[in-house]
Amino acid sequence: MRARRRDLAALNKTGIVNPESNYCFGEGGAGTYSDGKLYTRSNKRGNIQRILNIFRQFGADDAITTDAHPHIGTNKLPHIITAMREQVTDSGGAVHFEQKVTDFILEKDQVTGVKTAAGDVFHARHVILATGHSARDIFELLHAKGILIERKPFALGVRVEHPQSLIDSAQYHCAVRGDHLPPASYSLVEQVNGRGVFSFCMCPGGIIAPAATSPGELVVNGWSPPNAITPTLIRAWW
């Protein structure tokens, strides 16, 4: 986590992305530096309360188990992820950092292990890939190995930034937000030509994070410690 924090500081300062360690890659993945908003409009997500309790067990505020819009906050997540990893290792698991998977070992159409960039080989009866949506090299590897991959429906997102004062005045109907009011938020849901368009990730008082994983890419996301800018990601399903 410490090395990752250093790489992110360099990214924010210079704008140059380290392809192996950035807002998406490193210990805990994108989740470590996400906003930690834990609510969903879907009611088909399994046992949400169980997940909230797990986050609380590892250091999130008690409030997330009762809030309508539970929000952990980026400042807390790195500690929570570290505590989760320590629980894994204390229970006999192992975490191998800086071991980039670069090949699968296949025997009779069965995956029996992986090879890493360092030249190490890990054998296993089961291999679970949890490399996130930014690991393009893994998708290419799956394709090159003749392993079936299927695309899923994608959402097209645009990020809209408003001054927080504009949202505050629209929602609170006052020229200046008082000290006792939190930065105001909003959500937007609309049907356009039979497709749903909705605001997805409202970060009241939030900041924009450069979430690219390769040099030359432009990818942004947001989170929300107190600040003056409100980014909103609006998505349309295609």
Interface residues toward ligand FAD, by CB under 6 A: 23-26, 29-31, 33-37, 100-101, 130-132, 134-135, 138, 209, 211, 221, 223
Closer by beta carbon to ligand FAD, 138 or else 229: 138
> Which amino acid is present at 215?
P
In whole angstroms, give the CA distance from residue 74 to residue 126. 33
Least spacing, CB of residue 193 vs ligand FAD, in Å? 27
* Cross-sheet strand order for the sheet of 195-202: 155-163, 229-237, 195-202, 189-192
Residue number, 143 or 174, with CB nearest to ligand FAD = 143
CB 70 within 8 A of CB 63: yes
- Give CA separation, 128 vs 113, 119, 136, in Å: 10, 20, 16
- Shortest Å, Cβ 179 to ligand FAD: 26
Q: Tell the smallest beta-carbon distance from residue 29 to ligand FAD (Å).
A: 2
Helix (H, G, I), strand (E, B) or coil at 139: helix
Nearer to ligand FAD among residue 132 and residue 196 (C-beta)? 132
Closer CB to ligand FAD, 33 or 55, in the complex: 33
**CA proximity to 21, closest of 92, 105, 98:** 98
Nearest Cα to Cα of residue 188 among 180, 197, 177, 178: 197
The CB-of-33 to ligand FAD minimum distance in angstroms stands at 6
Nearer Cβ to ligand FAD (18/164): 18
We find the least distance from the C-beta atom of residue 140 to ligand FAD, in angstroms, to be 11
- Residue 53 CB, shortest distance to ligand FAD, in Å, is 17
Indicate the residue among 29 and 113 with the shorter CB distance to ligand FAD: 29
- Copy the structure tokens of residue 122: 């890990």
Q: CA distances (Å), 183 to each of 160, 164, 188, 227, in order?
A: 16, 7, 17, 9
